[in-house]
Structure 1
Amino acid sequence: MTLPLHPLSLMNQVYRNIMPVVHDELTYWKKRAQDIPNEELREQALASIANKTFHCEGGSIMALTALGQKDAAIKFIVAYQTISDYLDNLCDRSTSLDAQDFAALHESMEDALTVDAPLQSYYRYREDRDDGGYLGELVQACQSVLREMPNYEKIKPYLLELCRYYCDLQIHKHVCIDEREERLKNWYEKNRQSLPDMKWYEFSACSGSTLGVFCLVSYALRSDFEACHAEMIRGGYFPYIQGLHILLDYFIDQDEDRKGGDLNFCFYYANDEELCNRLIHFLQQADQFTSELPDQKFHKLINRGLLGVYLSDRKVNEQREVRLLAKKVMKQGGVVSHFFYWNGRVYRWVQERFFPWKKAF
């Protein structure tokens, strides 16, 4: 199996070699979620799979970089992303707004990246606790892949660094509205020295992606992986590729978040022009850092794919200002981004028209 370097070959491999394995993995986790004894935990676990299948599908594209070990990479990616989506649901719908509770839940993500970590009482600060071992099994699924990986120690410090950013973000952004902005700003100030020039809400966005973790794990499954690759991948994906990923996610959700009163990092820009310019800046910086990665053509495809896939979402067309800005940003992506844009629209149309039951994932 070779790494695809052109849009058509990439999508061919994604549809033939990635999606079927992802859906097999999700089918298993959906069955496990159905057996969760506690009603609230069962409901949130099933909802996270049903509504966020796209996260596992998109993240698993990184498994292509594992070459012959792609199935192991997909097993890890689906399990780790499922933990992320499940915890996001629990925190979003928590009635406690308790940072201590959110921190305990997210200990599972760090444990998932630490092969010798024992399982903990992740629900210890909430009433709903009996998940029938669901979260623990997800953690152990991730550990099992890392345990068989000869290059684990080379990537471990970078995995845990990216995980810490992610978990801190989830803790700070889910507390009560009166506290979250101040917490995020203080967190940014503590990390500011190690960051390029960016605002606190952009740092938050950069911390909210799991792509760097997926890329590190996928590469480390390869026999030709070298220690220098770990630092290159970390520097390539954090902050700019991850930031581009999450800013695009928030960009298309603006109307939805405005109506729901939810935190959206795009709301903090002074105006649409600044938002557009910063999205373009993140794309340009992502391209620059991509040039220092192994298989740079593949990673540039990922950057262009992020643009096309997110900006082809139906939510863009439903928001006039977002639609106008999306056109400006898409121009920066060129022909390749337009390819992914139309591929995304066709894929969604086919799914909705001919396979509506797949939403039940």
Structure 2
Amino acid sequence: MSVPIEPLFLMNQTYRKVFPIVHREMHIWKQKAQRIENEECRSQALASLNDKAFHCEGGGIMSLLALKGKRDAIEFIVAYQTISDYLDNLCDRSTSLDPEDFTMLHYAMEDALTVGAVPRDYYQMREDSENHYLSGLVLRCQEVLSRIPNYLLIKDELLFLSKIYCELQIHKHVAEEEREERLQSWFETHRKDFPEMEWFEFSACTGSTLGIFCLVSYALRPDFKPEYAAVIREGYFPYIQGLHILLDYFIDQEEDREEGDLNFCFYYQDPESLFARLQHFVEEADRHTNKLPHSRFHKLINRGLLGVYLSDEKVNNQKKVRMLARKIIRSSGTVSLFFYVNGRAYRSIMKMMPGNIYLKEERI
């Protein structure tokens, strides 16, 4: 088994060796979510699994770096991403605007990365609660990490990436009139390290879990080296993660306007400025792969992000977004175009498939 460095091999491995395991893991958590007694928690848990499945699918691709540890990596990735998506739903769709509530909820993401940490009462600042689903996700993550001999070598980097992710979630879910000021003040504490970014771009860079998934996947390899931990964190944060989240916000613009949600793409002066900065992030993301082991794989991830996000059906429903997406794809080369066409074909096939996709068998 080797790390894919060609588009066709990557997609072959993804469809045959990654997605079926991801879907089965998600089905396990869906069954657990259905048993949540509290109606609000159950509703948000199921919505996060049903509506954001592609987050787990995309994160699962990082497991290919783990080689024989792929199943462990997927188990962790699905559980951790499910925590992220569930908490995002709880914060986005709840009536709470209390930063202390959001802080308490997001301790789950820190505890999930800390082997031996006892799950807390994450719901103590809100009325709706449950007693097995979120703590179960936390313990599943810890269980996988406890099996990784190199866990202590990546722990500090994991907690750094988790900390800034959670800080973003707390600041961006408060009352609308407080969001910008909180995020701008937060950025000022980091500005010296990011001289060429705006506050909303820095916020986007903190909002991805890809760096965490990459660290865990590499740590599962027998040839993991101690110096890889910092190299991977610096390779993925800020630019690869920033590209990931800016694309996520890019396709969600219409939905976020309707819901009144924060969207970092709204802060660009015009479509030309947005296009220029997305291109900048693509170039910097590619440049930051140069020091990473298996750099060609990570460049494929960058191109895959472009193709997968810009092929989303949400793009077709937004005229200005659709026009800009096509411009980005045309300027990003044949590999991005390959992933774009592949993404559209995959979504069309999945729409036509009967039954429960989570029960598909893996073909070895």
TM bucket (normalised to shorter chain) is over 0.9
State the shift of 1:356 in Å.
6.9
Query: 1:320 matched to which residue of 2?
Result: 319
Contact 1:51/1:359 (<8 A) preserved: no
The aligned counterpart of 2:26 is: 26
Instruction: Quote the Cα distance in structure 2 between the aligned partners of 1:334 and 1:355.
Output: 35
1:195 is displaced (CA, Å) by 2.1
Describe the shift of the 1:179–1:55 C-alpha distance in structure 2 as closer, same or farther (beyond 3 A): same
Q: Does 1:11 align with 2:11?
A: yes
| Corresponding position of 2:152 | 153
Q: Which stretch of structure 1 is more off in the superposition, 186-195 or 134-143?
A: 186-195
Deviations along 1:213-244, whole A, 9 cap, x unmatched? 00000000111000111111101100000000
Does the aligned pair in 1 maintain the 2:24–2:358 contact within 8 Å? no
Aligned-partner Cα distance in 2 for 1:355–1:176? 42
- Superposition pairs for residues 65-84 of structure 1, below 5 Å? 65-84=65-84
* Contact 2:23 2:359 survives alignment (8 Å): no
How far residue 360 of structure 1 moved from its aligned partner, in angstroms, is: 11
Quote the residue 1:331 is aligned against.
330
1:253 is matched with 252
Superposed CA offset, 1:178-219 (max 9, x none): 101110000000111222410000001001000000000000
Find the aligned partners of 1:23 and 1:360 in 2 and give their Cα distance: 7
> Does the CA-based 8 Å contact 1:330-1:337 persist in structure 2?
yes
| Aligned residue runs from structure 1 range 254-273, under 5 A | 254-273=253-272
Q: Distance in 1 between matches of 2:327 and 2:263?
A: 21
Q: Which residue of 2 aligns with 1:100?
A: 100
Distance change in 2, residues 1:25/1:76 (3 Å): same
* Cα deviation, residue 331, structure 1: 2.5
Inter-partner Cα distance in structure 1 for 2:227 and 2:261: 40
Question: In structure 2, what is the equivalent of residue 116 of structure 1?
Answer: 116
Shift of 1:327: 1.9
Instruction: Tell me the alpha carbon deviations over residues 93-122 of structure 1, each in whole angstroms, 9 at most, x when there is no partner.
Output: 121211000000000000000002111110
Unaligned runs of 5+ in 2: none
Q: Deviation at 1:359? A: 9.3
Corresponding letter in the other structure for 2:162: C
Code of the residue aligned with 1:182 in structure 2: it is E
SS in 1 for 2:333: helix
1:345 paired with 2:344, answer yes
| TM-fit CA distance, 1:321 | 1.3
Task: Please give the alpha-carbon distance, in whole angstroms, between the structure 2 residues aligned to 1:96 and 1:71.
Answer: 37
Structure 1 letter corresponding to 2:226: A
Q: How does 1:292-303 map to 2 (within 5 A)?
A: 292-303=291-302
Aligned to 1:285: 284
Distance 1:255 1:40 in 2: 25
Residue 326 and residue 104 in structure 1: after superposition, are their counterparts in 2 closer, same or farther (change >3 A)?
same
Given that residues 24 and 359 in structure 2 are in contact (C-alpha distance below 8 angstroms), is that contact kept between their aligned partners in structure 1?
A: no
Deviations 1:299-354 (A, max 9, x none): 00000000000011111122121122112211332110000000000000011123
* Residue 137 of structure 1: aligned partner: 136
Amino acid at match of 2:231: M
Task: Let me know the Cα RMSD of the aligned residues.
Answer: 1.4
CA contact (8 A) 1:50 1:360 kept: no
Is the 1:37–1:132 contact (alpha carbons within 8 Å) kept by the matching residues of 2? no
Overall identity of the aligned pairs, in %: 62
Aligned length: 360
Conserved in 2, the CA contact under 8 Å of 1:111 and 1:118? Answer: yes
Residues 359 and 175 (structure 1), Cα distance of their counterparts in 2 relative to 1, 3 Å cut: farther
TM-score, L = length of structure 2: 0.97
Contact 1:151 1:220 in 2 (8 A): yes
Q: Choose 12-21 or 330-339, whichever is displaced more.
A: 330-339
Q: 2: CA distance between counterparts of 1:149 and 1:67?
A: 14
Distance change in 2, residues 1:161/1:180 (3 Å): same
Question: How far apart, CA to CA, are the structure 2 residues paired with 1:293 and 1:283?
Answer: 16
Flag the 1:356–1:253 CA change in 2: closer, same or farther, 3 A: farther
- Secondary structure class of the residue paired with 2:269: coil
